[in-house]
Amino acid sequence: MKIIPHNKPTLGPRELSAAKRVLESRWLSQNSEVTTFENELCGFFSIEKGHAVVVSSGSAALFLALWALGCKNDRVGIPVYSCSALRNAVEMIGANSVFLDCAEKSPNLDISSVISSNIDTLIAPSMFGIPIETDKNLSYKLIEDLAQSFGAIYEDQPIGLRGDIGICSFYATKLITTGGQGGAVISKDKNLIDLIKDYREFDNRRDNKARFNFQMTEIQAAIGLCQLNQFQEFKLKRNNIFDIYRDAGLDLIDVDDKNCKPIRYRAVLKTDKPLFLIEKLKEIGVTSIVPIEEEELLDNSDYYSNAKWLTHNTISLPIYPDLNQKIAHQIADCLLQLIK
C-alpha cells in the first residue's frame, strides 16, 4: 500500500481550468468571480443575495465577525477543545476568552453549561462535522463556526444561521477549498454583512475610516466556485467512507438525533490505545492522528475533564473524497484485528 495521508485537498482538471480562466482574463484581484462566489454561497445557505461576504481566510472571517458584532471587551466563550484560531481572534479584537469544556464524550461543547459562564458572545464550532446543539433562547451573541461542518444540516436547514453570524473556512483540507486559504461570513442580518464588506474595501476611500485588506482573490473565488459545484459529490464520497468504517464495527464518534445530518469531515475512532493504533497503521502506510492533542487544548487541561478525555482516547482516520474505498475497507479490517 502506498502512503495514505490523513487528509488532502480534492483537486483536479476542473480547478485547473478555473484558475486558467482567471489568469487568461488578466484580472486577478477581487472582481466578478468573487461576487459570483458570494451569490452562490447565498444560494447554498438558502439566503438572499448580498448576505454573504468572502474573505482571505477563515481566521479573517472570525475576526471580522467579532468586529461587526462589537465584541471588544466582551467575555467570549470558546470551547477549549478547538482550533487556536478562535483564541487568537478573540485576543486580536481585544476581548476576553472564557474557555468551556466539551459535553461528555462529545467533541462539541455542552451548550447547557454556557448559561452559567456569564458570557457576552459565544463562538460555537460544530466539531468533526457534527452540528452543535444551540440554545433556543439566546442571551448572548452567537457566532457559528462552520470550519469543520460546512453543509451539515439541522432540522432540514444548513447550519450557520441559528445565531447572529456564521463563518466558514476554505483552507486546503477543509470540506471545500479556495486554493489554500479563504473564508466567508454569512448572516440573516444584511447590515452586519454590509459592515464587513465596507471594512474589506480598504482602497481608494475618502472617509479616513480604519479598514484592512481581507479580500479574496479572483483565483481563490474561481476555485471555490468549482469546489462548491462538486460539494454534493464530495459529501457522498465522505459518507460512503464513513459508512465503511462504521459498518465494519468501528466505534466512531457520531450523533443519534433524527434532526441532525452531519457532514463527514472527520472519522474519529474512540480507543484507549490511540498511539499504538497510530503506529500500527503507519506500518502499513496509513497516516492517522490524534485530532487534538492535550498540549493543543486552549487552556490548562486539568480543568476540562471531557476535553482531556478526548485527547487521550481518539484517533482520526482518512476520510477525504479521493480516498479509494478499497483502501478504506483495508484500514477498517486492520483496525478490527488490532482492537481484538
Residue (of 258, 313, 308) closest to 290 by Cα position: 313
Q: Which residues pair with 316 in a beta bridge?
A: 268, 289
Q: What is the pLDDT of residues 56-80, one digit of tens each?
A: 999 999 999 999 999 999 999 999 9
Q: By three-state DSSP, how is residue 237 classified?
A: helix
- Of the chain, the percentage scoring pLDDT greater than 90 comes to 90
DSSP 157-194: EESS-SSSEEEEE-BTTSSS-SSB--EEEE-S-HHHHH
89 contact partners, CB below 8 Å, separation of at least 6: 59, 62, 63, 66
Q: Distance between CA atoms of 274 and 291, rounded to whole angstroms?
A: 11
Q: Distance between CA atoms of 184 and 54, rounded to whole angstroms?
A: 4
Q: Distance between CA atoms of 95 and 97, rounded to whole angstroms?
A: 7
Residue (of 224, 173, 210, 192) closest to 61 by Cα position: 192
pLDDT over threshold 90, residue 188: yes
258 contact partners, CB below 8 Å, separation of at least 6: none
Question: What kind and span of H or E run contains 99?
Answer: strand 96-100
Q: What is the pLDDT of residues 85-97, one digit of tens each?
A: 999 999 999 999 9
pLDDT over threshold 70, residue 154: yes
Residue (of 118, 57, 123, 68) closest to 90 by Cα position: 123
Q: Distance between CA atoms of 304 and 310, rounded to whole angstroms?
A: 10
Q: What is the mean pLDDT of residues 239-249?
A: 98
The model's pTM is: 0.95
Q: What is the mean pLDDT of residues 328-335?
A: 97
DSSP state of 73: T
Set out the domains of the chain in order of their start, with CATH numbers.
13-229 (3.40.640.10), 231-339 (3.90.1150.10)
104 contact partners, CB below 8 Å, separation of at least 6: 110, 306
Q: What is the pLDDT of residues 286-318, one digit of tens each?
A: 999 999 999 999 999 999 999 999 999 999 999
C-alpha cell at 196: 464587513
